[in-house]
Chain A
Amino acid sequence: EVQLVESGGGFIQPGGSLRLSCAASGFTVSSNYMSWVRQAPGKGLESVSVIYSSGDAYYADSVKGRFTISRDNSENTLFLQMNSLRAEDTAVYYCARASAAAAGYFFDYWGQGALVTVSS
């Protein structure tokens, strides 16, 4: 069974750093295209970052230079290192898998979400 479990969210002051983790089971993270998608309170969905099986990564302009996506193949885990956090980064952060075979590279599995609150 495919599962994604996020951790690492919390309350942080502006300018601080957090690292989100997404532990995967039932499939291999490094063989899939994985992404972080966030949702600010009461708002819509925003793609933050993606990492392809090749290792190539892309970032939204709003987080470029501050966030880094990575993965640990031995732990089958996806990460999002978030530095220089701003109030506007406050959101629920979801990790999601994009499956070519099952969903045409759209997000067929999502984690439960990790809440990040940036406030002084």
Chain B
Amino acid sequence: EIVLTQSPATLSLSPGERATLSCRASQSVSRYLAWYQQKPGQAPRLLIYDTSNRATGIPARFSGSGSGTDFTLTISSLEREDFAVYYCQHRSNWPLTFGGGTKVEIK
């Protein structure tokens, strides 16, 4: 099973600041990595797939990069609606696994 480790666990930032979230895989997942956003009481929402492709309707302030075992989600300038929990997920093989999440909170 591929383990995805996200860091930091919590990121405290102000609106307008840049957020950088990390996801590290225990073995290579090539570029088969996605990022999701989840707000309380809601289902996750796909933001980025295949490392760097924005899903339909996702604003350009969200971007993804990386390959192999190290991946980054960047939010260039935080809007108030971006404060949420973010998960990475691979689809390299079964079982699909998710990272433990990074909570982006208002400072």
Contact = CB atoms under 8 A, between A and B. Distances in A.
Q: Do A and B come from one complex?
A: yes
Nearest to A45: B98
Interface residues of B, number: 23
Q: Is the interface of A mostly helix, strand, loop or mixed?
A: strand
Q: Is the interface of B mostly helix, strand, loop or mixed?
A: loop
Nearest to A35: B96
A108 B55 CA distance: 8
Interface of A: 35, 44-47, 50, 58, 60-61, 94, 98, 102-108, 110-113
Q: Which 9 A-B pairs have the closest CB atoms?
A: A110-B43, A106-B34, A47-B96, A45-B98, A106-B49, A104-B50, A104-B49, A58-B94, A103-B49
Interface of B: 32, 34, 36, 43-46, 49-50, 53, 55-56, 87, 89, 91, 94-101
